[in-house]
Amino acid sequence: MSKYVKNLLTEHLRERLKGVDYALVVNMVGLNATTDNRLRRELRGKNIHVMVVKNSLARRAVAGTPLAGAFDGMTGPTAICWGGDDIVSLAKEITRLARDPKFAPFAARGGVMDGEPLTAAQVEQVSKWPSRVEQLSMLVGQILGPGAQLASQITTVGSALASQIAQVGEEKDQETKTES
């Protein structure tokens, strides 16, 4: 491959990966064409992009970006996956598909998150974290929980007091009716 073609491919990769802050490197060697298409269709449905890349070209394309650590020490054919809602949802989907026997040779090899390289074991750990949506719902629950509990306690005491006042008022009404 000529230097001119390599520079064109590097520039194309750089453009495709522009603005990507997290990605996973996966192994797709051993997938037949039908399985590969099925896998890509499932990932596309989750808004996850897959691109098979040559490691040396990918290293040059991502140099100076947050993805630079993803290809450190990578050998052999690799593919890069990015997209989804966040790194956790991406890791969950990749891990789920790697466990599926239909996609047997497919597996995570590593990745990068916040500029830090990840190993395959770390990708597995990240897949067990709560997703962004789950984290937000837990945060909202923690924020609203004490307020809801306080409101419940105030209204419980207030309604009990109002009930007692109403009973006393009814007793007074009955006493005045019996006296008349």
pLDDT band at 39, cuts 50/70/90?
very high
Q: Average of pLDDT values for 86-107?
A: 91
Q: Average of pLDDT values for 6-32?
A: 89
Residue type, 131: S
Cα–Cα nearest to 79, from 98, 101, 66, 99? 98
pLDDT band at 41, cuts 50/70/90?
very high
* Amino acid 180: pLDDT: 64
Distance CA(106)–CA(171), nearest Å, equals 78
Q: Average of pLDDT values for 77-97?
A: 90
With a cut of 80, say whether residue 105 has pLDDT above it: yes
Residue type, 101: P
pLDDT tens per residue, range 47-83:
999 999 888 888 888 888 888 888 887 788 889 999 8
- What Cα–Cα distance (Å) separates residue 7 from each residue in 55, 70, 90? 14, 20, 29
Residue 85, judged by CB atoms within 10 A of its CB (0-12, 13-18, 19+), counts as middle
Backbone phi and psi for residue 71, each to the nearest 5 degrees, phi listed first: -105, 10
Mean pLDDT of the chain: 87
pTM greater than the 0.75 cutoff: no
With a cut of 80, say whether residue 92 has pLDDT above it: yes
With a cut of 70, say whether residue 130 has pLDDT above it: yes
